[in-house]
Amino acid sequence: MSFKALLEALPIPILQAPMAGAVSDAMAVAVSQAGGMGGLPLAGVSPDEIAAAVDGVRARTAAPFAANLLMAPPLRPQAVELDAALARLATWYAELGLPLPDHPNRFSHDFEAQLDALNRAAPPVASFSFSVLTRAQVDALHEVGSYVVGSVNTVAEAIAWAEVGADGVCAQGFEAGGHHGHFLADIEASSVGTMALVATVLKAVDLPVIAAGGIMDGRGVAAALALGASAAQMGSAFLLADEATTGPIWQQAIRDAGPDATRLTRAFSGRYARGLENRFVREMRAIQDEVPAYPVQNRLTQPMRAAAGKSGDPELMSLWAGQAVKLAQSGPAGELVQRWWREAQETAQALAARTAARPAKT
């Protein structure tokens, strides 16, 4: 079966976005069981634990699901660079009463080792953000029976994934919450809205396209399908779901947020990501271009963000959320997916009635 056929055979063409730090395996299972496709984030999972994580979902649903890795580059910064980066964070650590962390031994899990583990785990779908696999890596996943999906923010990135043999692309628009996966051009050149991105990617590559970014309810799902996407991927829409691991501070910040409350920031992780604007985002803005690249800055701010979370201080936490996050609803993830699909069907019917041929006016 082609990946396009698999998406078209889903009872509900809604993919729950893999969201490191926000998604539990229970959520991925619930969405797949409800007829959509769950997404298991594995970025923070060690190579040794990847098989158990994938098998844990597989044991609880016979329906397809995706497992996701972030392609972190193996950066080895100099001590002097780390000292400078930590000095920029000193006042923030002091504010929390924490000592500055020592130079870490590593900044993220080794991607190559995670990929080997993912090959052994052979999830139904393997998805990737932040870069592009080689053809040999894609072929190896195909050999174990996994479909391969790459996240793209531009047409050029979609072509790059098509050239290495991917089965589909996830077109992540500028609206999206969390990290933006762009890897060929800078953030400005890679800031394309979901509507423009899906339509232009569809024209450029002969692959099924999954639309992501700003899709929060059935109207958004219907719009994505109307554009020609094979499925809609929703992330922020699940941040208040019962199975989310976002926790009370993050969830309250979403509820308290005013309109237009998200910004793109590089300050937390060294890679542009969209979240609710808070004091850290505001006050680091002037120097955000100076911080070391992902995953280095991400690792250096980790103890700060964790401590802020523990002490209930949303101003120093990375509150990832998309532009339309105020439309997020609470409830069991499976019920949300089924509700959005009913809404999408109603939207399509209303639209069909509205666009039905009418006698020409004379």
Ligand X SMILES: Cc1cc2nc3c(=O)[nH]c(=O)nc-3n(C[C@H](O)[C@H](O)[C@H](O)COP(=O)(O)O)c2cc1C
Angle 300-304-306 from CA coordinates, rounded to 5°: 110
Size of the site for ligand X (CB under 6 A): 30
17 touches ligand X by CB under 6 A: yes
Q: Does 45 bind ligand X (CB under 6 A)?
A: no
User: Which residue, 31 or 82, has its beta carbon nearer to ligand X?
Assistant: 31
Specify the 3-state DSSP secondary structure of 46. Answer: coil
Sites for ligand X among residues 243-262 (CB under 6 A)? none
Q: Does 151 bind ligand X (CB under 6 A)?
A: yes
The burial class, CB within 10 Å (0-12 / 13-18 / 19+), for 35 is: middle
Q: Which helix (H) or strand (E) element contains residue 265?
A: strand 262-265
Q: How far apart are CA 181 and CA 118, in angstroms?
A: 20
Distance in Å, CB of 102 to ligand X, minimum: 26
Can you tell me which of 32, 129, 131, 190 binds ligand X, judged by CB under 6 A? 129
Taking CB under 6 A as the rule, does residue 70 contact ligand X?
A: yes
Position 19 contacts ligand X (CB under 6 A): yes
Q: Which is nearer to ligand X, 87 or 113 (CB)?
A: 113
- Choice between 95 and 242, CB closer to ligand X: 242
- To 5 degrees, how large is the angle CA 19–CA 330–CA 129? 15
**Is residue 172 at the binding interface for ligand X, with CB under 6 A as the rule?**
yes
- Please report whether residue 22 would count as binding ligand X according to CB under 6 A: yes
Window contacting ligand X (CB under 6 A); options: 48-56, 94-102, 233-241, 351-359: 233-241
- Least separation in angstroms between CB 35 and ligand X: 19
Residue 97, Cβ density class (10 Å: 0-12 exposed, 13-18 middle, ≥19 buried): exposed
Q: Which stretch binds ligand X (CB under 6 A): 5-13, 91-99, 208-216, 286-294?
A: 208-216
- 131 counts as binding ligand X under rule CB under 6 A: no
Residue whose C-beta lies closest to ligand X: 235
**Cα separation of 259 and 61, whole Å?**
38
Asked if 215 contacts 232 with a C-beta cutoff of 8 angstroms, the reply is yes
Long-range pairs, 95-101, Cβ under 8 A, ≥24: 95/316, 96/304, 96/307, 96/308, 96/311, 96/313, 96/316, 98/303, 98/304, 98/307, 101/300, 101/303
What does the alpha-carbon distance between residue 98 and residue 191 come to, in Å, rounded to a whole number? 36
Is residue 41 near ligand X by the rule CB under 6 A? yes
Binding residue (CB under 6 A) for ligand X from 27, 30, 234, 337: 234
- Quick one: 82 or 297, whose CB is closer to ligand X? 297
214 binds ligand X per the rule CB under 6 A = yes
| Interface residues toward ligand X, by CB under 6 A | 17-22, 41, 43, 68, 70, 129, 151, 172, 175-179, 212-215, 234-237, 320-322, 324
